[in-house]
Structure formats: structure tokens, C-alpha cells
Amino acid sequence: MAKSGLGQEPQSTAAATVLKRAVELDSESRYPQALVCYQEGIDLLLQVLKGTKDNTKRCNLREKISKYMDRAENIKKYLEQEKEDGKYHKQIKIEENATGFSYESLFREYLNETVTEVWIEDPYIRHTHQLYNFLRFCEMLIKRPCKVKTIHLLTSLDEGTEQVQQSRGLQEIEESLRSHGVLLEVQYSSSIHDREIRFNNGWMIKIGRGLDYFKKPQIQVTFLPRILMSTNYNRGRIPPKE
């Protein structure tokens, strides 16, 4: 395992800090997080290398960069093998009031051009903000590099006064997706409890609170198209691909 051991030059302080953390994570077998830190630290070292004129220092930097790159590559291969063997497990805990956890940031690494079919099981795609969350998730799925053609949604039917709104909202999303060549199949179940998302490239994601992990909007809206139009959507229509 590589050691951080960088000099104390001011311009390399950031790199030293990140790479020290990478080594700590590596020693704790927290390989996904370690890989991210190694990659970030290597990028910082490359920037230091560009600004270094002294040949001896440049030689030392190249040696350090090479060692960190070798370790990062080994971790990357290990993680890829774990994924192929179906042993890869990653857990993300979203704290109260946390930011930076958009659908794209959470699911991007599992989406590629091989994804053509998606299954979503979430009992709470009922209320306006939940329908809007589902719309945002669908919008992410039809962006490049994905080639999604079919989305299966299994949810529960609202038995209260919002049943009409739920049906109308899902119908509008279905029509919008159809205009993009994507089929949305909706099924209802009164016994569904678990929440999960499956992609046909083999990935399965268990989501504790389903798609509804964002804070509920302060303003209550009772008509789905209105909230969609307020965010530059046209009656729930998903913007066309560029």
C-alpha cells in the first residue's frame, strides 16, 4: 500500500491532506471512498507537478503519482470484480437537512447505455410532491447515456380524496414519456411495503424512504400540472433531449 509521505510545500498541502485520508480509508478497507480520495489527490499532485520547475522535485512527484496511480488502479480492478461477482455493497446514509443528494448524484454510477428497462417499487407515489419526484426520476432516466425504453412502476393506490390526482398525474407522466419513445407501465398493489429500484444491467438499489427522501415543500399544491409548470415544465411534459 502506498504511503502519503509528501513534503510540506504549501502548494502540496491540499494533495497531502486528501491522500492521507485516502490511505486511512484504504487501511480500513473502505475502498470506494478511498478510490475517490486517491483520484482527487492524484489530480492535485498533477497540478503541483505542472508548476514545479526543479528537476529533482519533479522526479519525486512523478514517483509519488505513479505509486498512487498503481494503488488506485488496483482498487478499481478489485471493485469491478466485486461488481461482476455480485458482491459489491454500498450504503449511503442521508442525514437530516443534508444537500447534494440529487437523483443524478446517487444513481449516475449505475446508469449506462446498457440500461433499457427499469423497475421501481415504491408504495408512496401518491401526493403531488411524490408525483413530482417520480417525474424528476423519469427525466433522469431518459437523459444520455441511458437508452431506457420501458419503466415499470409498482405503487399503492391512494384510497382517499387524492386518488383522482394520483391517476391524472401518472397518466400525464405516461403520456410525456410516450412522446420520448418510453413506455410507462403502472401497477397497483395494496400489500407493497419494500422500496427498491432495479436496472436491467443487474443493479438493485434498496431505498429506505423510496424516492421521497426530499423535504416536503412548504407550499401545498393540489393540482399537479401547476407545480410542474412552476418549474418550467409544460403540464408535466419532460423537456426533449438535446
Class for the domain spanning 90-238: alpha beta
**Confidence label for 78 from pLDDT (cuts 50, 70 and 90):** confident
Closest of 37, 49, 40, 39 to residue 12, by C-alpha: 49
Higher pLDDT, 241 or 85: 85
CATH 1.20.58.80 domain extents, the chain: 7-85
**Confidence label for 99 from pLDDT (cuts 50, 70 and 90):** low
- Cβ contact 155:122 at 8 Å: yes
Torsion sign (Cα): 27, 30, 36, 39 = positive
Which of 79-93, 94-108, 149-163 has the lowest average pLDDT?
A: 79-93
Q: What mean pLDDT comes out for the span 28-38?
A: 85
Q: What mean pLDDT comes out for the span 6-18?
A: 71
CA-CA distance, 122 to 232, in Å (whole number)? 26
Identify the three-state secondary structure at position 237: strand
Which of 62-71, 99-108, 188-197 has the lowest average pLDDT?
A: 99-108
- Cβ contact 181:151 at 8 Å: no
- Cβ contact 37:17 at 8 Å: no
CA-CA distance, 165 to 167, in Å (whole number)? 6
CATH 3.30.870.30 domain extents, the chain: 90-238
- pLDDT(6) > 50: no
- pLDDT(228) > 50: no
Closest of 91, 225, 206, 230 to residue 168, by C-alpha: 225
CA-CA distance, 199 to 205, in Å (whole number)? 9
Question: 7-85: what fold?
Answer: Methane Monooxygenase Hydroxylase; Chain G, domain 1 (1.20.58)
Q: What is the model's pTM? A: 0.55
